[in-house]
């Protein structure tokens, strides 16, 4: 279970060091404004893990879409060599602009 702490927004302004110490002991701190959840504060390590998880989810989703395309007999695939040749042509065309 995640360890959490709830703190009012004014604590960020008035007691920043204390909030940071709280964050060391909890996975995240919920910041409230006028008694309602407003935002969440996490440390950089947990933020990096969160970003990586989002990236992994995106990659998995894109792979699933590609797999579905491959299974569709109506989809024409372009050979790798042809794709690379087209990319080289585009790169060369940009050099001359």
- Categorize the per-residue pLDDT at 3 as very low, low, confident or very high, splitting at 50, 70 and 90: confident
User: 36 by DSSP, 3-state: which?
Assistant: strand
Q: Where are the domains positioned within the chain? A: 4-45
Buried b (16+ CB within 10 A) or exposed e, 40-61: ebeeeeeeeeeeeeeeeeeeee
User: The tokens 């204390």 sit on which residue?
Assistant: 18
What pLDDT, in 10s, does the model give residues 27-86?
Answer: 899 999 999 999 999 999 999 999 999 999 999 999 999 999 889 989 888 999 999 999
Specify whether the CB–CB gap between 56 and 47 falls below 8 A. no
Measure the CA–CA gap between 22 and 15, rounded to whole angstroms.
Answer: 11
The answer, yes or no, to whether residue 1 has pLDDT greater than 60, is no
Residue 24, both tokens: 């060391």
**What dihedral angle (degrees, nearest 10) is formed by the CA atoms of 49, 52, 58, 61?**
-80
pTM over 0.75: no
Does the structural domain 4-45 have CATH classification 3.40.1620.10?
Answer: yes
């Amino acid at each position: 279970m995640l360890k959490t702490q709830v703190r009012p927004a004014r604590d960020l302004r008035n007691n920043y060091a204390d909030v940071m110490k709280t964050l060391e002991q909890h996975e995240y701190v919920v910041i409230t404004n006028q008694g309602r959840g407003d935002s969440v504060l996490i440390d950089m390590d947990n933020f990096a893990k969160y970003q990586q998880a989002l990236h992994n989810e995106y990659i998995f989703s894109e792979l699933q879409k590609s797999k579905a395309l491959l299974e569709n007999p109506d989809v024409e695939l372009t050979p790798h060599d042809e794709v690379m040749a087209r990319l080289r042509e585009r790169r060369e065309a940009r050099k001359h602009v």
